[in-house]
Structure 1
């Protein structure tokens, strides 16, 4: 990895971040509630309201209608589990801490089948607090060096719906009994209700066919979900804990934006696709607000001659496919930042 250029004084980095924060705050203050939170809340509500239509489509013997049902349920599932969980863990859905906690329990535990507290700890505290710091927030949880590139990029994503609740069970061994029982109850509720709807609303005749449909809908967007999680950090500069850069440099160097992709914008949210840099700099902003401040952030970073990493989904896919051993198997190299202590 080539050394990355950076300012000679850390004080300059703090000044730059302060200037950028002031510009973004001006945009947020000038925005309505609808822009700040309403748009994303509406997308989540629409996804919930679309679920009955998806389950009813699965009753049809018409293959096209059945396929529409699978598509609706799959997209809605990822909108609730990825977009909903992501916004809730960052307290971006409501100004109320109480309601954010309730929404996190619903989206993370009931919908996603994963403990909300571990999701917050792993994503908010570690990944955001130590972005691209080796061994802490470097996305290493997505590395499986025992798998070859073909299995990892094409087959492993199908296992995400199965592995997620299994990892959740392992995590619950490390928490108190009361907390474990509550989380286990909410996870079980979400999984069983999905299964029950397939049997009693969609009309599946056997448990096996209902479970197969659950797996299909829950893995519909698993490939881009896995890919996005590695494309936007791995392969970019990595830092050691004792020499990590200041926040503005950490995020501008170690985060990458993908282009607008309509289905993924809807299901994953702008903050995970085309506004990932903005999200890492301002993690409590909603997806819609990240999109609104994007021109301000990109212009500022470019004017200050700071990196603003962007690349296409296909370009990143082939980069990872060609350099899989380097990025996903071997230990990452530490980037030396000129001028930073």
Structure 2
């Protein structure tokens, strides 16, 4: 399947256990058939198992697992989809955001208040699309089938546009959050918890510091990296920040450096509050798991992930995989935003028929929950649920 990263094709990340407790088993497709693969140390040959180069394979038919059955259905849909559906639509949205920047800089040069505000709004939306939707898709390698281009897009969107380290972003998001979703101390979204802040400050004021904190955190993550990597990351982050500042001074005609910096802060903050909200709404408050007793992948993701309803603004700015298709995204993180939306009916129907949870709640309902249960959810660590150890 073209859109599946190499490590998924080899079966390393599609283990039923999602990491710990997976038993070292994986899955792959061969001539259209789903196979389970695992390493063996003995010479035993059980019925249905075939040994080849130290690896035993068994064809899955009637005993096909839930995750493998759902994966097969999704793979079939991806294979039947065009490039435009797999990547083109989302690439077009990102390109449109990029092409909105020149008119935004020109509108900011206007002496008319209405046009000036329109320019600020246009730049804020374009910046959010590039730094939220773009960085998220780039971190998953969902913008290109070429690994070389995927790495290039990750540097462009995460470092130049997002002012963060591409390596740290992939490490924290892919290798921690996705690999250990809702596992306490690993992928439990604890990075967004600031327990000493009052709830109103945390939910509505603290997010406004994200554009300032982000490059500082990126610099902290560079400790221990090679000099070449440190220099590249610092140069890319500086390029992204300084290019916007230079254009505001030389194209938009800002006379004051302070005014240009203030404009940058406002534009980069336009979606900071919902950005923090979305990050905590969809995981915190849901079942948490022990690092040594997590359930199989399909149980972990269906119990620990929640979808928000479709939103005409956030769907396009953040992307479907972060809003109304977050369950689908955690089950199949290699899919683009549009493909998550396309497989959503199949995934939701399958989970419902198998009596697995398909969790959805509205934005304002989750906001109300967090506002009234702030101490329980954000100050004190969520309790481990009885789902720990589900096999």
**Which category of TM-score, normalised to the shorter sequence, fits these structures?**
over 0.9
Count matched residues.
332
Alignment pair present for 1:133 and 2:183: yes
- Match of 1:201? 251
- Match of 2:52? none
- Match of 2:305? 255
Q: Any residues of structure 2 matched to 1:80-95 within 5 Å, and which?
A: 80-95=130-145
Q: Structure 1: how far apart are the matches of 2:354 and 2:155?
A: 41
Kept in 1, the 8 Å contact 2:294–2:388? The answer is no
| Structure 2: segments with no counterpart, 5+ residues | 1-21, 24-61
Alignment pair present for 1:264 and 2:314: yes
| TM-score normalized by the length of structure 1 | 0.95
How far did 1:340 drift?
2.1
Q: Secondary structure at the match of 2:344?
A: helix
Deviations 1:23-72 (A, max 9, x none): 11111111110000000000011111110011111111222211111111
Deviations 1:80-107 (A, max 9, x none): 1111111111010110000000000000
Deviations 1:121-158 (A, max 9, x none): 00001000000000000000000001110100110011
| TM-aligned CA distance change 1:136 to 1:339, over 3 Å | closer
| TM-aligned CA distance change 1:328 to 1:300, over 3 Å | same
Residue 331 of structure 1: which of 344, 358, 381 is its match? 381
Structure 1 moving runs of 4+ over 4 Å: 10-14
Q: Secondary structure at the match of 2:357?
A: coil
Tell me which structure has the larger Cα radius of gyration: 2
Larger RCO of the pair (alpha carbons < 8 Å, separation 6+): 1
| Structure 1: segments with no counterpart, 5+ residues | 1-9
- Match of 2:295? 245
Q: Any residues of structure 2 matched to 1:182-197 within 5 Å, and which?
A: 182-197=232-247
Kept in 2, the 8 Å contact 1:275–1:291? The answer is yes
Q: Counting strand residues as a fraction of each chain, which structure ranks higher?
A: 2
Kept in 2, the 8 Å contact 1:160–1:222? The answer is yes
| TM-score normalized by the length of structure 2 | 0.83
Kept in 1, the 8 Å contact 2:287–2:387? The answer is no
Q: Secondary structure at the match of 2:292?
A: helix
Residue 164 of structure 1: which of 200, 210, 214 is its match? 214
- Match of 1:308? 358
